[in-house]
Amino acid sequence: MSNKLKIGVFGYGVVGSGLAHVLKNSKGLDASIVKVCVKDADKERELDSKILTLNPDDILNDPEINVVAELIDDADAAYQIVKTALQNGKHVVSANKKMLAYHIEELIQLQWQYKVSFVYEASACGSIPIIRNLEEYYDNDLLQSVSGILNGSSNYILTKIFNDHLDYKVALQQAQELGYAESDPTSDVDGFDTLYKLIILTVHGFGLFVHPNQVFNSGISNLSVKDIELASQKGYKIRLIGKVTKVNGNKVNLLVIPKFVKPEEHAYTVDSHYNGVLIQGNFYDNQFMYGKGAGAHPTGSAVLSDITALAYNYKYEYKKLKYYGGLEYTNDMEVKVYLRYNDKNDLDLFDFKEISESLIGKDFNYVIGILNLNDLLKIRQQIIGKDIFLAYLGEE
């Protein structure tokens, strides 16, 4: 492609404005934003109004624009933008993890078909270059697992709860005021944001496409003072963890769930809005990556990194997809969990294979025991809205 990058940007919120700022302060890159498509042209922005447009076609059909940066929240609209841009022969940078989680297989095929680049480092783990590392360094079949804290918003909230003893609602409000969490925090605190990122990492780490509905995910919105007290008494912190693991040879499992984290675990030391990713392999043992996972500048820097890579004709090679296939997805595995509940009828929903610890109190009931993930998936819809909290303690 031309060394001169002429960029059309969709969206000028936290990430879009962050990109503009870091691009303005970056030297050595011949790139400029020539058009920005927004929904509200009257909103005040530190941006030349001449480059603003409300019409997506002003970017998608402009032959001068050779790079499209898709930075909007709406996953359905993002999908249409990315799909059309690829079909129009434009290179695309995206930060939309939900859109990717649902459409990544199709979009990979489109970039191959139209011989363009589609890069999306900013969609997973903010400033941590995890996708490119899985592509370039861990490009063999020796990988065993990728796990860690993938959502900076929930991690900020949990840090404030455990380190500063704030109430959950107060910590959430602080995260929203600082721009780490959205006004509707559901995706962050209920584990969906982590799930979408984990699906993307699974494609690059294991060459496997997994639909979001196949994965059990649980979040922290039901976290109570009693859960916090028990974890603290046992010497744990609680962190929202996403984990993809190779099990039983050619099987792969994904899981998103709060975890009781021990002091010797890497995740125990990851605080505030930072992310931490642990990579485990057959021979390279444990390697840990750490960096900011939320905010305008970390994500904007990741988008800029992708744009810089495009100046050198960079493309993901998807080596795992091409050369190391044959893996299958499974939820047939047993996990050790903590379950806090109020109503005994709710406990009856869970088919515990074994219970190692339990308490029935006046206002606090819990069990620690073994469940099969397949059984958890079967009751996923039934437990939504119930006053229960699940946390992960390990595999059996």
What is the per-residue pLDDT across 316-357, written as a single tens digit (0 to 9) for each? 999 998 887 789 999 999 999 999 999 999 999 999 999 999
Query: What is the H or E stretch that residue 147 is in?
Result: strand 143-149
Give the CATH number of the domain where residue 354 resides. Answer: 3.30.70.240
Report which of residues 227 and 27 the model is more confident about.
227
Contact between 105 and 79 under an 8 Å Cβ cutoff? The reply is no
Same domain, 301 and 396: no
> What are the angstrom distances between the C-alpha of 298 and each of 95, 253, 268, 303, 395?
12, 29, 22, 9, 33
pLDDT at residue 99, rounded to an integer? 97
Does residue 217 fall inside a structural domain? no
Of 17-31, 283-297, 298-312, which has the strongest mean pLDDT? Answer: 298-312
Looking at the structure, do residues 374 and 315 belong to the same domain, yes or no? no
Residues 6+ positions from 312 with CB-CB distance below 8 Å: none
Of 323, 339, 366, the residue at which a domain comes to its end is 323
Report pLDDT for 50: 87
Domain limit, last residue, from 264, 288, 323:
323
Active-site hit among 197, 237, 243, 259? 197
Q: What is the pTM of this model?
A: 0.94
Instruction: Please tell me whether residues 303 and 350 are part of one structural domain.
Output: no
Give pLDDT, residue 396. Answer: 52
- Segment 53-67 shows an average pLDDT of 96
Q: Of the given ranges (102-116, 181-195, 296-310), which has the lowest mean pLDDT?
A: 296-310
- The string of pLDDT tens digits covering residues 206-261 is 999 999 999 999 999 999 999 999 999 999 999 999 999 999 888 999 999 999 99
374 burial type by CB count under 10 A (0-12 exposed, 13-18 middle, 19+ buried) = middle
Whether residues 341 and 381 share a domain: the answer is yes
Whether the predicted pLDDT of 44 surpasses 90? no
pLDDT of residue 294: 66
Q: Are both 58 and 39 inside the same structural domain?
A: yes
In 3D space, the residue among 213, 216, 167 whose CA is nearest the CA of residue 376 turns out to be 216
350 and 307 within one domain: no
- The answer to whether residue 44 is domain-embedded is yes
Indicate the pairing of strand 237-247 with strand 251-261. antiparallel
Structural domain boundaries enclosing 369: 331-396
Residue 3 has a pLDDT of: 67
State mean pLDDT over 43-67: 91
Please check whether residue 357 is in contact with residue 367, taking contact to mean a CB–CB distance below 8 angstroms: yes
Q: What is the pLDDT of residue 200?
A: 97
pLDDT of 129 over the 70 cut: yes
The verdict on 308 and 369 lying in the same domain is: no
In a domain, 81, yes or no: yes
The span from the CA of 248 to the CA of 393, in Å, is 20
Percent of the chain with pLDDT over 90: 74
Do 375 and 308 share a domain, yes or no? no
Residue with more model confidence, 355 or 17: 355
In the chain, the number of structural domains is 2
Average pLDDT over every residue of 300-307: 86
The answer to whether residue 115 sits within a structural domain is yes
Q: Is the pLDDT of residue 179 over 70?
A: yes
Q: Residue 112's pLDDT is what?
A: 96
- What was the pLDDT predicted at 66? 96
Residue 147 falls within a domain, yes or no?
no
Q: What is the mean pLDDT of residues 105-118?
A: 97
Same domain? 319 vs 335: no
Residue 251 annotated in active site: no
Closest by Cα among 84, 77, 65 to 8: 65
Residues 82 and 109 in one domain: yes
Lowest mean pLDDT among 127-136, 148-157, 161-170: 127-136
Q: Both tokens of residue 383?
A: 């437990």
* Same structural domain, 318 and 335: no
CATH code where residue 98 lies: 3.40.50.720
- Percent of the chain past pLDDT 70, that is, above it, reads 98
Give the model's pLDDT for residue 175: 92
Same domain assignment for residues 306 and 390: no
- Predicted confidence at residue 196, as pLDDT, reads 97
Q: Is residue 16 part of a domain?
A: yes
| Lowest pLDDT segment from 11-15, 46-50, 261-265, 366-370 | 46-50
